[in-house]
Amino acid sequence: MMKMTAQRAEQARREAKDLFAHERAKENEVVKEREKAFAAQSQKTERLRALRLAREAEAAATAAAAPPPAKPAAKKKKTKSPPADKSAPAAKNEADT
């Protein structure tokens, strides 16, 4: 009887150990997949950054090489003639009398 109990305990221990190893293997796979996805995302980010920097450098070179656009001629503002001196007609009327 003692032997059977020891055998059962040993078998239960082996099954638990196998189950634990199987779970740990799954976790390791998940971690590897995450690392793989992170590496892919990092590569994509680096590639896009390089493309953006190249595009900005090209735009800067083009802007430096091209002459600045000509400004349209400014329209002359119409200036109003200064208002007539209000005291002048009154003075004129006084001179008439």
**pLDDT tens profile 11-68:** 999 999 999 999 999 999 999 999 999 999 999 999 999 999 999 999 999 988 877 6
Q: Give the model's pLDDT for residue 49.
A: 98
Q: Where are the alpha helices (DSSP H) in the chain?
A: 2-65, 87-96
Model pTM above 0.95: no
Mean pLDDT over 70-76 rounds to 75
Q: Whose CA is closest to 65, among 53, 57, 74?
A: 57
Q: Give the model's pLDDT for residue 80.
A: 74
